[in-house]
Amino acid sequence: MKILIIGFGKLGSNLYYSLSGKKGIQLSAVRSSREKLSAGSIEAADVIFICTRDSQIPAAVKHIAASGAALKNKVIFHTSGSLTSDELKKLSTNGAYIASFHPVQTFEKRVRKDAGRFNDIYIALEGSKKAINTGASLARQLSAKPFTLKKENKVYHHICCVIASNFLAALNRQIEKIISKKIRINGFKNLSFFNIYMPLATQSLKNIAKSGTIESLTGPFERNDVITIEKHLKALSKGSKDVLSVYLLMGIETVKLSLEKKSLSHGESLKIMKLLSKYLIK
């Protein structure tokens, strides 16, 4: 199986080196969606992973479609947590099988070797049956655990990821501020669904223990992804009012933490706060 990885950042590099050396797999990669994709490199691939930021996925799709490469029977994934396989619909009309392939894990840096980040994690798959089957097979080769999602539930899955990882960093910032008080941590019992998000939460805790909460913060708040944040808010406002309250509270704290990290400007933080405030009064 020949695999092309588009985007060689945090996730792309981890995926590349995790697949390196796997029996029957040949790898190639380009650094970003802005690099020219030749028809030859696309046609040579059986499977294509788009591992760019969400905002760059349309550009990657456009470049693939414009390359003139034959896409029939190829399997094409994007790795976004919040977006569905609909982002790749243009490629399916040219004969490709499409799906989203989302590792429920945090990747805080680029790597140059296998960091073991795919071991025992869960990978959310959503899309066409052929692509899901291919994705599940690759997930198992990565020593990960595949599971499928309905398209309409993808946004709720990503909300769980944000709470398990991004909000965890912001929440633990409060622990850092409490110097003289003892903290009691209670475990979870009989909540098997939480196992899906446990590797993500565990790795986030390891990052916090190693580098502190500020440097460990990732996610849509930290990268000023207002579109994804608003999607979460709209979904929760339709019925999950209790969770919406927690999301809003932790969203405010995560904006503050992003300001401390200096990944958000003052103006960007004000725009996100204004968006959150719209849902506080509903």
Q: Which of the pair, 121 or 243, is modelled with greater confidence? A: 121
Do 33 and 74 sit in the same domain of this protein?
yes
Residue type, 74: K
Element (H, E) at 112: none
Do 102 and 224 sit in the same domain of this protein?
no
Per DSSP bridges, beta strands 122-127 and 97-103 are: antiparallel
Do 102 and 188 sit in the same domain of this protein?
no
User: What integer best gives the mean pLDDT of the chain?
Assistant: 88
Q: What is the pLDDT of residue 181?
A: 43
* Residue 153: pLDDT over 70: yes
Range of the structural domain that residue 235 is part of: 152-280
pLDDT for 50-105, tens place per residue? 999 999 999 999 999 998 899 999 999 999 999 999 999 999 999 999 999 999 99
Do 98 and 157 sit in the same domain of this protein?
no
Give the total number of structural domains in the chain.
2
Do 173 and 141 sit in the same domain of this protein?
no
Do 256 and 162 sit in the same domain of this protein?
yes
pLDDT for 252-274, tens place per residue? 999 999 999 999 999 999 999 99
pLDDT for 8-28, tens place per residue? 999 999 999 999 989 899 999
Mean pLDDT of 149-172: 90
Do 193 and 244 sit in the same domain of this protein?
yes
Q: What is the pLDDT of residue 191?
A: 46
Do 139 and 204 sit in the same domain of this protein?
no
Mean pLDDT of 228-237: 92
3-state secondary structure 46-72: CEEEECCCHHHHHHHHHHHHHCCCCCC
Residue type, 77: F
Q: Which alpha helices (DSSP H) does 150-240 contain, by range?
A: 154-161, 167-177, 198-216, 226-237
Least confident interval from 43-47, 78-82, 143-147, 239-243: 239-243
pLDDT for 134-146, tens place per residue? 999 999 999 999 9
Do 56 and 141 sit in the same domain of this protein?
yes
* Residue 34: pLDDT over 70: no
Contact criterion met (CB below 8 Å) for 164 and 122? no
Is 0.85 topped by the overall pTM? no
